[in-house]
Structure 1
Amino acid sequence: MQRTFINYLVICLKGIAMGAADVVPGVSGGTIAFISGIYEELITSINNINLQALKILRTEGIKKAWQHVNGNFMTALLLGIAISILSLAKLMHWLLDEYPIMVWSFFFGLVVASIFFVGKQIKKWDVRAVVGFILAAIIAYFITTLGAMDQHGSYPYIFLSGALAICAMILPGISGAFILLLLGSYGTILGALSAFDLKTVGVFVLGVIVGILSFARLLKYLFTHFENLTLAILTGFILGSLNKIWPWKIVTEIKKIGDKTIILDKSTSPFNYQGDPQILWAIGLAIIGFLTIFLLEKVATVKND
């Protein structure tokens, strides 16, 4: 299918939405990719960055290799993600500091709607699908209850952290930033970026590259051979992650990781929340977040126009 400039603009906007989600700890850009209708194309495109692409580049030229890796799509998407992270990161962190209940309520409604969106694509709820859904939800919930590890800085550990974090980032329901926090690498990576420690950053990026290329192949295989079960497991992951973005939290621990202060918390009832629970605002923004999914679903059909 020949895409137009408008099609690529829409893809860029989806990238912006993914980037905005990725800067919120607990929300996965993979979820946004899934509900905006580009998830499988993204996985396929990443999967096509392989030795065959190099062979095509050598024998048939840059144009054919670019088409093989779906270069226009990837460029538009990555441009959107970069624009979002560079422009929205500070705003999102400010909103989380000043209006946490409102922000979390919006994302909570958005993720709840995404559960229905992904779940309705499951063609048959057989025993395997049900068991996969339940186990994935339990695993994701358990991950959200874990505490952060102490800071680690060895290069093999940084490499592993990069590989695991990027896998989480493209997996709907799991936040890559949250995985870094759990592994104790969050402060190390931020510190390396701030200090321009190119060796540490390079090892981390290498881990990211290896992780995403390997995991994309696994996901592609699963979608090809076990699509129904894979969709059920992804839906379970999204459901289990809701605990992390529940709007009302109580602080359980404050940790210093590098030069960053990390606040650990757990979910509580709005009626037990210490402070103004802002229930009406929370309900309103959750509804807006919920309805946003249906807008994204409508936008996703643009690529078929």
Structure 2
Amino acid sequence: MSLINTLKGFLIGIALVIPGLSGSIFAVVVGLYEKMMDSINHFKTNKKASFQFLLPIGIGAAIGILASTKMILWVCVEYPIQSYLFFVGLVLGSFPLVLKKMKKIQFKPSYLIVSLVSFLLILALTKMGEGGSESYIAIQSFDSWDDAFSMLFAGVFSMSLMSVPGVSGSIMLMVINQYGTVYNAVGQFVDLLFYLLKGDFTAANAAFGSVLLLIPFILGSVIGVILIAKLMGYLLKKYESLVYYGVAGVMVSALITLFETGVFPYWSTETATINPLLLVVIGIICLVIGVACTLFLDSPSTDQDS
């Protein structure tokens, strides 16, 4: 099992939780996206190799989601500017990889139309899903088959779109008003584990109703990935550079979303208690750390370790 791929999966898992961040973009950033799509598309014909490659990524992503659902969202609430500038750094650090992919074909001004369309599309979807991490919890617990079908659809919808590089699964859940439902259920799963360890079976039983919602959601997510994997595999094989022109537009949109979500709204509040110059210095440090993390994870040495 590749420790590096597990770490990369961990970052992808964190990106899945944060509104505005894209797990698929981080898969691109750390050099895993194309390999993941290829492994999913050829799973039937090459089960062992595909499983060995996808397993550490899946484990890392699961750990990232469970570890970050409460912790990362808490950090974003308590230290929004610092945390979101770190995320900005992660995205900025991925531009060298995307530019490298774009340079595989000779530039034509018309290619920028792809970037512009993807930029506007993702920005529009993001605006539709505005509401923040405190979005309304539409379904509190698994009470009927209607709840199951709602969560199944949420999984298919969010994961199929999230598999497109740059699309934020969290934002897609906000669009259909299920972000709070899903991550409340994930948080309840973490609580359930603690309750079981403590022997508090009454509290564990109360949390279990929310946790059950994850079953149809995960099933829908798997269906969504399978549905989109072949399409993305085809596009990457036939039009790789054009796909990355689209990704570039999406990344610019993601940067705007991150600033609008976690930097601009909190600047006046934060500078009321912290010296503005000090806040700028701390923010730049967080941004640089984010860039460094991405560049390290996308280095040739880590790409070879799969």
Do the aligned partners of 1:36 and 1:300 also contact (CA within 8 Å) in 2?
A: no
Q: Does 1:74 align with 2:54?
A: yes
Do the aligned partners of 1:101 and 1:248 also contact (CA within 8 Å) in 2?
A: no
Deviation at residue 226 of structure 1 after TM alignment: 1.2
Among residues 139, 149, 156, which one is paired with 2:121 in the alignment? 139
Deviation at residue 184 of structure 1 after TM alignment: 0.7
- Structure richer in helix, relative to its length: 2
Give the structure 1 partner of residue 108 of structure 2: 126
Give the structure 1 partner of residue 269 of structure 2: 274
Deviation at residue 30 of structure 1 after TM alignment: 1.4
Deviation at residue 269 of structure 1 after TM alignment: 9.3
Do the aligned partners of 2:76 and 2:262 also contact (CA within 8 Å) in 1?
A: no
Q: Which amino acid aligns with 1:96?
A: C
After superposition, the Cα gap between the structure-2 partners of 1:281 and 1:79, relative to the gap in structure 1 and judged at 3 Å, is: same
TM-score (norm 1): 0.77
Deviation at residue 136 of structure 1 after TM alignment: 0.4
Query: What are the residue-to-residue correspondences of 1:139-178 with 2, within 5 Å?
Result: 139-146=121-128, 147-148=130-131, 154=146, 155-178=148-171
Deviation at residue 106 of structure 1 after TM alignment: 0.8
TM-score (norm 2): 0.76
Q: Does 1:211 align with 2:204?
A: no
* Aligned counterparts of 2:7 and 2:184: Cα–Cα separation in 1: 30
Structure 1 residue ranges without an equivalent (≥5): 57-63, 251-266
Deviation at residue 216 of structure 1 after TM alignment: 0.7
Query: What are the residue-to-residue correspondences of 1:1-305 with 2, within 5 Å?
Result: 8-49=2-43, 53=44, 65-67=47-49, 70-122=50-102, 123=104, 124-146=106-128, 147-148=130-131, 154=146, 155-190=148-183, 194=188, 195-197=207-209, 200-246=213-259, 267=264, 270=267, 273-276=268-271, 278-298=279-299, 301-303=302-304
* Aligned counterparts of 1:26 and 1:300: Cα–Cα separation in 2: 29
Q: How many residues align?
A: 267
Deviation at residue 200 of structure 1 after TM alignment: 4.3
Do the aligned partners of 1:173 and 1:239 also contact (CA within 8 Å) in 2?
A: no
- Structure richer in strand, relative to its length: 1
Q: Which has the higher contact order (CA 8 A, sep 6+)?
A: 2
Secondary structure, aligned partner of 2:114: helix
Q: Which amino acid aligns with 1:218?
A: L
Give the stretch that moved more between structures: 84-93 or 95-104: 84-93
Give the stretch that moved more between structures: 73-82 or 202-211: 202-211
Do the aligned partners of 1:28 and 1:171 also contact (CA within 8 Å) in 2?
A: no
After superposition, the Cα gap between the structure-2 partners of 1:248 and 1:27, relative to the gap in structure 1 and judged at 3 Å, is: closer
* Aligned counterparts of 2:182 and 2:293: Cα–Cα separation in 1: 33
- In the TM superposition, what whole-angstrom CA distance separates every residue of 1:23-78 from its partner, at most 9, and x where no partner exists? 222212212211111110001111224xxx2xx6xxxxxxx6323xx111111111
Deviation at residue 152 of structure 1 after TM alignment: 5.8
* Aligned counterparts of 2:89 and 2:213: Cα–Cα separation in 1: 37
* Aligned counterparts of 2:123 and 2:13: Cα–Cα separation in 1: 23
- In the TM superposition, what whole-angstrom CA distance separates every residue of 1:114-136 from its partner, at most 9, and x where no partner exists? 23421231123324421101110
Deviation at residue 151 of structure 1 after TM alignment: 6.7
* Aligned counterparts of 2:182 and 2:68: Cα–Cα separation in 1: 20
Q: Post-superposition, which runs of at least 4 consecutive aligned residues in structure 1 deviate over 6 A? A: none
Aligned CA-pair RMSD: 2.8
Give the structure 1 partner of residue 194 of structure 2: none
Q: Percent identity?
A: 27
